[in-house]
Amino acid sequence: MMARLPRLNLPGVPQHVMQRGNNRQVCFFDEQDYTVYLSKLNEYSEKYQVAVHSYVLMTNHVHLLVTPEEGDGVSRLIQSLGRYYVRYIKQKHERTGTLWQGRYKSTLVDSEKYFLIVSRYIELNPVRAHMVEHPAEYPWSSYHKNALGKPIKLITPHVCYLSLAKTDKTRQKRYTALFERDIPDYTLKEIRDAVNKAWVLGGDGFKAQIEKQAGRRVSPEQRGGDRKSEKYWQGCNQSL
């Protein structure tokens, strides 16, 4: 099996973070567990200066869209949060063994082309899992802040979100309208491959910039032509 690539951590660059329960087992057992996790996520995000833009807590995994002020901010946040939450679960539910499945996964996100798509991808997880018919029906996601304007202290709006409109109500309306279109299958695969394989999620210019800074490849070798065809970018632009 090929060794996993080292994580890419750059100040000011958004990251899509995913962490699964061990063997995809449940890591949230009741409502209090979700609440405790979000409370500590807020605490550690402030401590390590990591802005949280979007999130969803599923029963057996977590997705976050975050931006660190310092290069190691996300790693420190996830490590501290993970350690606290594991202790909490073991004490409360009298569980033993590993809660999380190895190390968390993450990818850098090109704000200009992908930020709002990844935010939608995260908040649509409960819909794709057939847990609810609409993201507003699922209580443990940032959709309630980004689309509905519910006060959630944890969330820090990203400039891509703020640029949707000048007022909160119009911004929320336009963000909600994005969910009327499906995310194309090839874009879903792009997002999943990037976070699972530690590739960068972005356009060619963004990838070239990160590759130069990181000193390693940030995307797989192209096979059978350029997948980033006109059809691909047309789908992404429609999503935005």
Q: Please give the pLDDT value at position 66.
A: 98
The CATH number given to 15-218+227-239 is 3.30.70.1290
pLDDT bracket for residue 110 (50, 70, 90):
very high
Whether the predicted pLDDT of 176 surpasses 70? yes
What separation in angstroms does the CA of 95 have from each of 18, 20, 81, 92? Answer: 23, 17, 18, 8
Q: Which residues pair with 20 in a beta bridge?
A: 61
pLDDT digits (tens, 9 = 90+) for 1-16: 445 666 788 899 999 9
Look at residues 196, 237, 201, 192 and name the one whose alpha carbon lies nearest to residue 219: 201
What separation in angstroms does the CA of 175 have from each of 6, 18, 89? Answer: 33, 23, 35
pLDDT bracket for residue 234 (50, 70, 90):
very low
Can you give the residue ranges of every domain in the chain?
A: 15-218+227-239
Q: Which residue has the higher pLDDT, 171 or 204?
A: 171
Task: Write down the pTM of the prediction.
Answer: 0.88
Which two tokens mark 157?
Answer: 């709006």
Q: Please give the pLDDT value at position 120.
A: 98
Q: Please give the pLDDT value at position 217.
A: 77
Q: Please give the pLDDT value at position 9.
A: 81
Q: Name the average pLDDT for the chain.
A: 89
Q: How many residues does the chain have?
A: 240
Q: Please give the pLDDT value at position 222.
A: 66
pLDDT bracket for residue 55 (50, 70, 90):
very high
Q: Please give the pLDDT value at position 238.
A: 44
Q: Can you state the angle between helices 168-178 and 111-123, rounded to 10 degrees?
A: 80
Cβ atoms of residues 149 and 172 within 8 Å:
yes
Average pLDDT score over residue span 63-75:
95
pLDDT bracket for residue 224 (50, 70, 90):
low
Whether the predicted pLDDT of 29 surpasses 80? yes
The C-alpha atoms of residue 107 and residue 89 are separated, in whole angstroms, by 27
Dihedral sign for Cα atoms in the order 91, 48, 27, 20: negative
Cβ atoms of residues 133 and 156 within 8 Å:
no
User: Which string of DSSP letters, residue by residue, matches 86-124?
Assistant: HHHHHHHH---S--B-SS-EEEEB-HHHHHHHHHHHHHT
Q: Which residue has the higher pLDDT, 217 or 109?
A: 109
pLDDT bracket for residue 101 (50, 70, 90):
confident
Q: Please give the pLDDT value at position 223.
A: 60
Q: Please give the pLDDT value at position 235.
A: 46
